[in-house]
Amino acid sequence: MKSEIIKNNGRTIAHVFLPCIDYNSDSSNKAGLISCLSGEIEDSDNGYAGFNTKENLNNYLQEVVFDKADDNNHQYTFTLDGVRIIKTVTKAIRKCSDVLPGRISSIFVFPTFSQFVREKMSGTTGYTSWSDTILIFVNPASLQCDKALGETVGHEFNHAVFLRDKKCTTLLDSIIFEGLAEHFREQIIGGGQAPWTKIFELNQARIVFQK
């Protein structure tokens, strides 16, 4: 597993982990790739990359790395540009840390073959279920993922800070959780409103909230 320490003004602010960013196997299938992605991730202060057990991590990876319609014996071959990823993540995490300093963040970067992520999310998505622990997924086929990657890091960083001393358990919590993260990302990283925040017009949103 490749890893990189990110510092800002001489202080360590993040560890970036890139498990299995090169994969080329004639016998590759879903189970083989998941094993490669999580194989070197061990239990630590943030669990197994933000999950209580390796099994839970593997189950989540199974959902996000693949499209549901993928055949189990589909052949997966990919290479993620680790140098480029580290450069983009470093720039974003330094901006975030300047505004919300504190603990060291752990950032795990995985590939995803999701068509939805490639076409609707500009090639990246993220997940944060544990304080100061971020999972980032990059679609290697996307041509727009550099900009989206920085924005995803900004959004997820806010989640990771939120979870230091708060929990997200209700629908209202989730609305606040996502709203704070997206406003933080817009203000600190930039990039304008994300497409998924503009699906409904204001009047449509009011109807949905009432329901």
Distance between CA atoms of 100 and 139, rounded to whole angstroms? 28
User: Greater confidence, 74 or 183?
Assistant: 183
CB 134 within 8 A of CB 156: yes
* Residue 197: both structure tokens together: 């925040």
User: Greater confidence, 68 or 166?
Assistant: 166
Distance between CA atoms of 7 and 14, rounded to whole angstroms? 7
Q: Is the pLDDT of residue 64 over 80?
A: yes
Mean per-residue pLDDT of the chain: 90
In the prediction, which pLDDT does 38 show? 95
Distance between CA atoms of 67 and 89, rounded to whole angstroms? 25
Which of 52-61, 147-156, 199-208 shows the lowest per-residue confidence on average (mean pLDDT)?
199-208
Domain that holds residue 182: 2-210
CB 33 within 8 A of CB 65: yes
Per-residue model confidence as pLDDT tens digits over 127-160: 998 999 999 999 988 766 788 999 999 999 999 9
Segments of the chain assigned E as strands:
2-8, 11-18, 22-24, 77-79, 105-111, 124-130, 133-138
In the prediction, which pLDDT does 78 show? 83
In the prediction, which pLDDT does 70 show? 74
Residue 129 DSSP SS3: strand
Give the CA dihedral 45, 12, 128, 122, nearest 10 degrees.
-150
Distance between CA atoms of 37 and 53, rounded to whole angstroms? 15
Distance in Å from the first CA to the final CA of the chain: 47
In the prediction, which pLDDT does 192 show? 86
User: Greater confidence, 71 or 122?
Assistant: 122
Distance between CA atoms of 170 and 18, rounded to whole angstroms? 32
Distance between CA atoms of 22 and 9, rounded to whole angstroms? 32
Per-residue model confidence as pLDDT tens digits over 154-195: 999 999 999 999 988 998 999 999 999 999 999 999 988 887
Domain count, the chain: 1
Which of 31-40, 66-75, 179-188 shows the lowest per-residue confidence on average (mean pLDDT)?
66-75
Q: Is the pLDDT of residue 19 over 80?
A: yes
